[in-house]
Structure 1
Amino acid sequence: MAERKLPVQQLTILALCRFAEPLSMLSILPYLPEMIESFGVAEDDIALWAGVAASLYSACECIAAIPWSILSDHLGRRPVILASLTITMITSLLWGFSTNLTMALTARVLAGLGNGVAGIIRTMVAELCPWKELQPVAFSVMPIVWNLGSIIGPAFGGALSNPYDRLPGTPAGPHFFEKFPYALPNVASAGFFLGGIVIGIFFLKETLPSRKDHEDVALRMGKRLTCRAHEGLRKVRYLFIPGNEDETKPLLSGSSSTMFEPSLGSESNDDILEEEDEDQKGMVTWRDVLSKQSSLNLVAYGLLCMHSMSYDQILPVFMHHPVQNPNDADVSLPFKFSGGFGIDTSQISTLFTLYGVASMFFQFFIFPPCVRRFGTLRCFKACSVVFPIAYFMTPFASLLPGTFSKEAVILLIWFVKGLCTNVAFPSSTILLMNSVSNPRYLARFNGVSVVVSSIGRALGPSIMGPMFTFGVDKGYVIVPFWTLAVITALGVIPVFCLKDPDEMERENE
């Protein structure tokens, strides 16, 4: 048997396609309130419409996820990814050039409906790398890309938006970006999308079993372009390094186009999926897609998305909330207090950046060795137990004296949560992929998982926001965090009902 190797080239191309999405989506966060205010929205309603914009995106993404996945089962993964990236690029520009609230919300609706990349890219990773010993590394690539986008995106949007510092409600000047002050970051994002689309057209290979051997003119052109580029580089090197021409040939001279030649790894998936040639055209039912274990995995994954997104969204609100004097008559420790940290946006952004950098470290250096040593399911179970403890402890950080001590403790708790998040998400993804009974159900199943995650990410913040307001009004800032801790504790139940895929295989044998 040939040595199994990670399909690095294809994963790199998928990562480039994936990077454009968080860059575009998260770059709007720094200027979103100001942009909505520029549409003439009353100051008291800005938060409401910002929430509506976020909810519309998630809701529409939820609606469109399964149709995109089903379409990829018929047309192939590659054309659907390229079409989705193109739509998202156009809607990004539409958002940036919006001149009123209706146009902006329409752009968010279209962006959500057009975003079919996440689930299909996950399917392609599973099809590119079906070997369990390599999956921890393969499935950690896309979260790393997302974390990178989460660091660069907000800084990118904040730096490029409103370059002429035009105040909301003031007349536009003669310059183009005075008339459209929020267009520049979206134009730049569209450039990243365009780069991903071009690279995908020429170098991304199809992984759908029934279409992966299909001849493609663009891929052949990509191979020729790569060959010519390698040949030109070889000649340039020969000019500057005189000597035997053989000494300047690349080590992989027999396959000069392999740098970007689409490859599914050293061992073809044909050996793994060979029994599907006749089956591929058969009707797929939801009973085939959703087994007991895959359904439990979906519940665990949906709850993970819900509480992780809720915590990350409510935490900056808590940190920005005014400090409460411990001697206040409304304070009755240890449970009744409603103070926050009272820090400004720049300090919160710094903490977010530190969290993002730490998350990348956890994803790259902690997750793979942990999974190799303890197993995917054990890691997921351990993280599911830690989450409610971290959420339970969070509000008490505001009782510490001094801003530095508060920030240090909340950052420590946040790092613990980040470590668990960056281990739990790829672990859950691996368990999701391995719970599918037949590889040809992967795309549809991933469509369902995107729907579940979108519902969780939309539902969580919509519940926790009102809970925070209610708790603070009653003098109990612990309410949203303890509610989240209870939900997360209940989420431990489906996690501990999951079975290890390897053990299931041994039982079946």
Structure 2
Amino acid sequence: MSTVSIRDGPIPQRTPLPKLQLFIIFLIQLAEPITATVIFPFVNQAVRDTGIINGDERKTGYYAGLIGSVFFFAEAVTVFHWGWISDRLGRRPILLLGPLGLASAMFSFGLSKGFIPMVVSRAIQGVFNGNLGVAKTVIAEITDSSNIADAYAIMPMTWSTGATLGPIIGGLLSQPADRWPRLFGNQFFHTHPYFLPCAVAGLLAFLSAAIAFFGLKESLPSKQKKHLSQEEQLEVHSTTPLLVQDATNYGSNDPPPKADDTSPAPFSALLIPQVLIPILVYMMIAFVDMSSITLLPLVYSTSIPVGGLGLDAYHIGILLSIFGFVNALVQLFLLGKFIRRFGPRRICMAAQISYFLNAALYPVLIGFARRAGYVDLKTWMVVAAQLVLRLTNGMAWGVYIHRSFLLLEKLTESTLGSIQVIIVDSAPSRASLGATNGMAQAVGCIARSIGPSLASSLFSVTLERNSAGGNMVYIVLAGCALSGLALTFILPQKLRQS
């Protein structure tokens, strides 16, 4: 893909980054993926411990999936409102309130002994996890066109670092009374075996709020006592496309669109195949990806006789953290080269194929474990193959510096995933970019909200009824991946703006 530029005249000298302010913002953002992923290694066992499944391990999926879905649903219905409130009350109060709410939700989850309190705690966490859009707005307000790309380039590593640390904390520190009885052998940690990892994640969120309280400055122009020209105020205040886009763009790293002097196109202008087909592919990727993420720890934690691997939270946490670390390296060093070499369409195809293969490996994985009676070398080799395939999945969402986005946005560089590149390119005009992204993210969030509950419930139905020999859930997931693959064939072979 050719690199293009729309700069007129000499390249302006880069303004130094406001390092302290960026450090605080990224510290707040770091707390979000940590608190989001810390429960992954132990959430299925925590559901079983509540007694709601009445000892029937096959029913775990019904309830674990609800915990996964309620998080994304709560975030989706509230994140836009955080941005709206920040436009009126200021960015600083919202960025302070977010990690404080996360800390409270984590402590609440760790102390929960029943299923309903767990769901409520996770929903509260989803509500307060929605300040990513506000954080990106702040970055846009404290930088300019000469250094905004440098600021946004740090965001992928912030997310990847948090997504790597979360499972490590969750897997290593869960059930401490059994692992370190001399230190944590008291009755409290026997009664609340998952409080320690939740407390550590909550304390990290609280620490980020404390540092922000003393160091974070307000960036909303109306709250600053500065005299800006009318043109500057227009550029800084035009955050609506960002807020629309960020209403569900959890974990994404797209910079906010800048102001444009062209009137936005009507919504009906987006209802064309050029826009709808990439968004449909985006929806399928979101659904299959969240379903796969939900199934992996669910299968790994289910006992071997029932249809899993019988791994404990510690080993699941280690596996997830290894994947997170390697995935971050792949995203950072290889994804951009792959997309430039093969194009975003082929990367999307490769991701869908890897989703299919990942689902197809589950029966093999479970078969090896059942025949051996434990997780033997062959089983571990299949686990490793699944994690490698997950790296290809990540490329569909991966982040890289894509200069051709300059044709659509007045930024020096932008971070986009492969399918996001196609979605951006499908926008009828630059003025409709925010609406195009907003519609895509809304559809994607709906898929991410449905995926965990549907996949885990189907997992339980499959085990209870022994559907298709206990493989129905994997057949359905593989079928969804093939459907997504079929849709990628009607994506444009070349970007219009290449």
Please say whether Structure 1 and Structure 2 have the same fold, judged by a TM-score greater than 0.5: yes
* 1:306 is aligned to 2:317: no
CA shift in 2, pair 1:288/1:31, >3 Å: same
The Cα offsets for residues 208-228 of structure 1, whole Å up to 9 and x where unpaired, read as 4x437447xxxxxxxxxxxxx
Aligned mates of 1:8, 1:35 — CA distance in 2: 42
Partner amino acid for 2:416? Answer: P
Aligned mates of 1:277, 1:353 — CA distance in 2: 38
In structure 2, the residue matched to 1:473 is 467
Aligned counterpart for 1:389 among listed residues 329, 340, 353: 353
Aligned mates of 1:132, 1:367 — CA distance in 2: 24
Aligned mates of 1:498, 1:124 — CA distance in 2: 34
Task: Report the alpha carbon displacement of residue 319 of structure 1 after superposing the two structures with TM.
Answer: 6.0
In structure 1, the residue matched to 2:64 is 50
Aligned mates of 2:383, 2:453 — CA distance in 1: 26
Moved more, 42-51 or 485-494: 485-494
Aligned mates of 1:491, 1:207 — CA distance in 2: 43
Q: Describe how 1:80-479 pairs up with structure 2 within 5 A.
A: 80-126=94-140, 131=145, 135=149, 138-165=151-178, 175-208=187-220, 210-211=221-222, 213-214=224-225, 273=232, 275-276=234-235, 292=270, 301-317=282-298, 342=309, 344-345=311-312, 348-367=316-335, 379-397=343-361, 399=364, 402-423=378-399, 426-427=416-417, 437=430, 451-466=442-457, 470=462, 473-475=467-469, 479=475
Task: Report the alpha carbon displacement of residue 306 of structure 1 after superposing the two structures with TM.
Answer: 2.3
Given that 2:103 and 2:206 are in contact with CA atoms closer than 8 Å, whether structure 1 keeps it comes out as: yes
Given that 1:92 and 1:111 are in contact with CA atoms closer than 8 Å, whether structure 2 keeps it comes out as: yes
Task: Report the alpha carbon displacement of residue 273 of structure 1 after superposing the two structures with TM.
Answer: 4.7
Aligned mates of 1:368, 1:399 — CA distance in 2: 33
Task: Report the alpha carbon displacement of residue 107 of structure 1 after superposing the two structures with TM.
Answer: 1.8
Partner amino acid for 1:156? Answer: I
Aligned mates of 1:279, 1:201 — CA distance in 2: 26
CA shift in 2, pair 1:197/1:300, >3 Å: farther
CA shift in 2, pair 1:115/1:295, >3 Å: farther
Aligned mates of 1:430, 1:211 — CA distance in 2: 34
Aligned mates of 1:498, 1:307 — CA distance in 2: 25
Given that 1:57 and 1:108 are in contact with CA atoms closer than 8 Å, whether structure 2 keeps it comes out as: yes
Task: Report the alpha carbon displacement of residue 17 of structure 1 after superposing the two structures with TM.
Answer: 0.6
Secondary structure at the aligned position of 2:74 is classed as helix
Secondary structure at the aligned position of 2:176 is classed as coil
Aligned mates of 1:390, 1:6 — CA distance in 2: 42
Aligned counterpart for 2:90 among listed residues 76, 92, 116: 76
Aligned mates of 1:103, 1:405 — CA distance in 2: 38
| Structure 1 gap segments, 5+ residues each | 167-171, 216-268, 325-338, 504-509
* 1:489 is aligned to 2:489: no
CA shift in 2, pair 1:139/1:347, >3 Å: same
Partner amino acid for 2:450? Answer: L
Task: Report the alpha carbon displacement of residue 464 of structure 1 after superposing the two structures with TM.
Answer: 3.3
Task: Report the alpha carbon displacement of residue 359 of structure 1 after superposing the two structures with TM.
Answer: 0.8
Aligned mates of 1:271, 1:6 — CA distance in 2: 24
Aligned mates of 1:15, 1:294 — CA distance in 2: 33
Task: Report the alpha carbon displacement of residue 493 of structure 1 after superposing the two structures with TM.
Answer: 6.7
Aligned mates of 2:423, 2:218 — CA distance in 1: 22
The Cα offsets for residues 151-176 of structure 1, whole Å up to 9 and x where unpaired, read as 2212212333333249xxxxx99654
Partner amino acid for 2:159? Answer: W
Aligned mates of 2:421, 2:135 — CA distance in 1: 14
Task: Report the alpha carbon displacement of residue 387 of structure 1 after superposing the two structures with TM.
Answer: 1.5
The Cα offsets for residues 88-111 of structure 1, whole Å up to 9 and x where unpaired, read as 222222222224333332222222
The Cα offsets for residues 282-335 of structure 1, whole Å up to 9 and x where unpaired, read as xx99976966388777655444332222222234556678999xxxxxxxxxxx
Aligned mates of 1:5, 1:367 — CA distance in 2: 28
Partner amino acid for 1:461? Answer: P
CA shift in 2, pair 1:481/1:453, >3 Å: closer
CA shift in 2, pair 1:380/1:344, >3 Å: same
The Cα offsets for residues 178-225 of structure 1, whole Å up to 9 and x where unpaired, read as 4544333232222211221133234334454x437447xxxxxxxxxx
Partner amino acid for 1:410? Answer: Q
* 1:35 is aligned to 2:11: no
The Cα offsets for residues 236-271 of structure 1, whole Å up to 9 and x where unpaired, read as xxxxxxxxxxxxxxxxxxxxxxxxxxxxxxxxx989
CA shift in 2, pair 1:123/1:298, >3 Å: farther
| C-alpha RMSD of the superposition | 4.5
Task: Report the alpha carbon displacement of residue 20 of structure 1 after superposing the two structures with TM.
Answer: 0.8
Given that 1:380 and 1:495 are in contact with CA atoms closer than 8 Å, whether structure 2 keeps it comes out as: no
CA shift in 2, pair 1:448/1:198, >3 Å: farther
> Between Structure 1 and Structure 2, whose CA radius of gyration is higher?
1
Aligned mates of 1:311, 1:415 — CA distance in 2: 13
Aligned mates of 1:164, 1:175 — CA distance in 2: 8
CA shift in 2, pair 1:485/1:38, >3 Å: closer
Moved more, 416-425 or 197-206: 416-425
Secondary structure at the aligned position of 1:2 is classed as coil
Aligned mates of 1:272, 1:491 — CA distance in 2: 43
Aligned mates of 1:52, 1:322 — CA distance in 2: 21
Partner amino acid for 1:141? Answer: I
Aligned mates of 1:17, 1:143 — CA distance in 2: 14
In structure 2, the residue matched to 1:23 is 34
Task: Report the alpha carbon displacement of residue 457 of structure 1 after superposing the two structures with TM.
Answer: 1.4
Partner amino acid for 1:86? Answer: L
CA shift in 2, pair 1:406/1:193, >3 Å: closer
Secondary structure at the aligned position of 1:422 is classed as coil
Secondary structure at the aligned position of 2:12 is classed as coil
Tell me the percent identity. 23
Moved more, 343-352 or 84-93: 343-352
Partner amino acid for 2:208? Answer: G
The Cα offsets for residues 390-428 of structure 1, whole Å up to 9 and x where unpaired, read as 123335546598335434433432333234442488335
Partner amino acid for 1:157? Answer: G
Aligned mates of 2:321, 2:143 — CA distance in 1: 31
